[in-house]
Chains A and B, each alone.
Chain A
Amino acid sequence: GAGVSQSPSNKVTEKGKDVELRCDPISGHTALYWYRQRLGQGLEFLIYFQGNSAPDKSGLPSDRFSAERTGESVSTLTIQRTQQEDSAVYLCASSRDGNTDTQYFGPGTRLTVL
């Protein structure tokens, strides 16, 4: 595709519900990243996928957060039993090979937990 796409663009959910956020990376990009950006703050690394290697999950804040990636394509970030502190913009980025190559960011999903 022309760029990284994310869906939905906005998601409002009630505390305790599960949510799934989707990322479609640029075709051919082997590396995919998820970040969280709370209001007025910087980007917080969540998880990194590189090809068929085991993902780097060191940034996931709790076991309520998980992510999957199908081959070198779509990724889904799942947040179970959402809490109000999960409210943030979730950004996805992809890069050609992950070896410090330029990351291209999607527009993000704004998650609001009521």
Chain B
Amino acid sequence: AQSVTQPDIHITVSEGASLELRCNYSYGATPYLFWYVQSPGQGLQLLLKYFSGDTLVQGIKGFEAEFKRSQSSFNLRKPSVHWSDAAEYFCAVALTSGTYKYIFGTGTRLKVLA
């Protein structure tokens, strides 16, 4: 069955530190992968997406993610975290066979220390 796993429920980092949020997926076909961010009181916003091509994708707000097929992973990274990055981050895989529904992970809540 298709699934997305975000093993870290909560992560705390200091402002200016680097960040990596983990995402593993299980899907037999070619995965289309996404990272969304949900800030307090706001809707979900797309950070970046991977469909094909270069396995390192750049997104908004200085985020990037790397697709590793061999590890079934799509980890999100940022070299230097800002206090405004405190939010909940969701990884998602779009199914591409028979339907185009999305499977979301359970999310990672990021706390940033000043």
Chain A positions near chain B (C-beta within 8 angstroms): 4, 31, 33, 35, 41-45, 48, 50, 56, 58-59, 91, 93, 98-100, 102-103, 105-108
Contacts and interface: CB of A to CB of B under 8 A. Distances in A.
Interface string B83-94: 000000010101
Contacts of B106: 41-42
Contact of A31 (B45, B46, B100): B100
Nearest to A56: B99
B51 A100 contact: yes
B90 A42 contact: yes
A91 B102 contact: no
Contacts, number: 55
Contacts of A33: 101-102
B90 A43 contact: yes
B96 A100 contact: yes
Contacts of B57: none
A93 B104 CA distance: 13
A101 to B, nearest CB: 9
Given A42-B90, A56-B99, A103 B104 contact: no
Nearest to B46: A102
A56 B101 CA distance: 8
A43 B100 contact: no
B113 interface: no
A35 B49 CA distance: 20
